[in-house]
Structure 1
Amino acid sequence: MPGSAAFWFLIPAIFTLAAIGIYPLLLALYNSFHQYKLADLASGTPFIWFDNYIATLSDPSFWGALGRTALFLCVTLPIEVALGLFAALMLHRTTLPWMRAIARVSLVIPMATTYAVVGLIGRLIFNRQFGVANYIGGLVGMPPQDWLADPTLAFVSVMIMDIWQWTPFCALILLAGLTMVPKEAEEAARLETPRWSKILWHLQRPYLLPGLTAILILRSADMLKMFDAVFTMTRGGPGTATEFISVYIQRVGFRLFDQGMASAQAILLLILTIVLSRLYIRFVYREAA
């Protein structure tokens, strides 16, 4: 039977999804309701109901890490979308096919770079002694800055690296939306008004909103679980200046060895991600529909 054959071909994918997606989620949910401290396994893992969740919600450090993550998201994501939209509009308007092809290939390079490598590149760029950032600043008369030792500059440094890596993603998604706009409609709109802002808002915006929704969902989820680049670049420091929520959860789970508390925090982070995704779909995607 063709149907049964297709089912057998799906079994490896189902097992893989269960092994790397469903099982860790269920294990984290189970641990979140238990006292599970790796440094005190002799005491067992008793069931403690919602104590881990209550302790998490009353933990100032958790709210501090979540606040830093929210600030990072609210500042960095709009910049990435704005720069990506600008790049997409420029590529959409160009009449040189070879330039568009080269730009598309160039935009893929930052996205293809792994998070850990981006963090290492950031450490080199913002190094006080031999970093490119201080060299460029010296060309305009700015004194050398200890970027990764100053709380504000370290936060800005992480922002810059994230913007460098993921603005191309926004540009490619928005460029795909712009290519869906009928050329006849664009030509008529340009004859009607020379103002690009009116064309963008009244003609191109509906075609951009589905892609914008995908960008908001994917990038928000990435920023909420952002760990590799930050940990490689700053280790969450100086102090707690770049200790985002994922870095804080890692510290609780693998430095304080409290797996129960870390699991509860991870589940709350998952709930927050789902809520944000639903809000994006409700207020952005529905407008496009």
Structure 2
Amino acid sequence: MLNTTVPPASGAMRPRRPKRSRFVPRSPAFWFLFPAVAALAIIGIYPLLLALYNSFHLYKLADVAAGTPFVGFDNYIATLSDPSFWGALGRTVCFLCLTLPIEIALGLFAALMLHRTALPWLRVAARVGLVIPMATTYAVVGLIGRLIFNRQFGVVNYLLGLFGIPPLDWLADPTLAFVSVMIMDIWQWTPFCALILLAGLAMVPKEAEEAARLETPKWSKILWHLQRPYLLPGLTAILILRSADMLKMFDAVFTMTRGGPGTATEFISIYIQRIAFRLFDQGMASAQAVLLLILTIVLSRLYIRFVYREAV
């Protein structure tokens, strides 16, 4: 039987697929990442650029009719010459230098205890218990602190009364108010340090750890010579994240002490909030926020350079 199919002519038109625009990506990964990138741009990048723009302009909410004239670096110069700004920044750095080492030390102690325990159920229960303070929001932590350190019915004064110590006015005394904020922050974020360091200890080879324990019974030598390299990456993450959190700490302190008494707990974030929404000087507050961001970046780079470098 003869094949009667006629081959198409060389010049015949074939159906073509519709062309896609070169600006529309074909990869499905793009469409999965696009919502997160868009949210990051709207929530994070746009406010940052707006703050950077406002920092170079005179922008006062109480005098909107005056507009936002360009003033260059005047806001930065005024900020750097403001003693109140340096006072708030000094209190913040003092809070960081006092609180963060305590959190790391207590977290390391808890991580070592959980790492050495031979009871699996105790590890699980401890990890669940450690998550609870971290899951508590900052504002709630501040409200809990107001109740715990209340002069009349606070738990702390009740416990001190059992030892014959008269009640202390924790939130009205400048030093005690600062200490009370430290205690609440240590309570909330020591579990975070413990979990991160416990994850680092879990990376240590069991054979090497058992051999080290047979060679020397001193846990300090095992910690320094064997476990320390595995702890440094987690320690670097703790330093970066907690330093950034403390430099922008606002909710817990504001709900607990309102920055008082006086300026005893007025950290840099509370000071910026006062400039922006009580004095209505958005330009000055934006310049202070940009300087705080620069300080956070510098600290992060120093941590990576001098702490993380020892782990590699």
Same fold (TM over 0.5): yes
1:88 aligns with 111
The one-letter amino acid paired with 1:245 is: I
Q: Deviations over 1:149-188 (max 9, x none)?
A: 0000000000000000000000000000000001111111
CA distance in 2, matches of 1:28, 1:11: 24
What 5-or-longer segments of structure 1 have no aligned partner? none
Alignment TM-score, normalising by the size of structure 1: 0.99
Instruction: Work out the CA distance in 2 between the residues paired with 1:122 and 1:6.
Output: 45
Distance in 2 of aligned mates of 1:189 and 1:46: 67
Cα offsets for 1:197-231 (capped at 9, x unmatched)? 00000000000000000000000000000000000
Determine which of 267, 279, 284 is the counterpart of 2:302: 279
Tell me the C-alpha RMSD between the 2 structures.
1.0
Instruction: Indicate the residue corresponding to 2:261 in structure 1.
Output: 238
Deviations 1:99-136 (A, max 9, x none): 01000000000000000000000000000000001001
* 1:109-258 equivalence runs, <5 A: 109-258=132-281
C-alpha separation between the residues in 2 aligned to 1:157 and 1:21? Answer: 32
Q: Number of paired residues?
A: 289
Shift of 1:4: 2.4
Question: Identity over the aligned pairs, expressed in percent?
Answer: 88
Letter of the structure 2 residue corresponding to residue 81 of structure 1: I
Show the counterpart of 2:10.
none
Give 5+ residue unaligned stretches, structure 2: 1-19
Q: Distance in 1 between matches of 2:267 and 2:81?
A: 17
Q: How many Å separate the matches in 2 of 1:233 and 1:128? A: 14
2:204 is aligned with what amino acid? Answer: V
Paired position in structure 1 for 2:291? 268
Partner of 1:38: 61
Q: Which residue of 1 aligns with 2:89?
A: 66
> In the TM superposition, what whole-angstrom CA distance separates every residue of 1:80-115 from its partner, at most 9, and x where no partner exists?
000000000000000000001000000000000000
Deviation at residue 5 of structure 1 after TM alignment: 2.2
CA drift at 1:139: 1.2
One-letter amino acid matched to 1:141: G
* Alignment pair present for 1:23 and 2:39: no
Distance (Å, rounded) in 1 between the aligned partners of 2:29 and 2:126: 40
Code of the aligned partner of 1:107 = L
1:216 aligned partner, one-letter code: L
Distance 2:165 2:209 in 1: 45
- Could you tell me which amino acid in structure 1 is paired with residue 282 of structure 2? Q
Larger Rg, first or second structure (1 or 2): 2
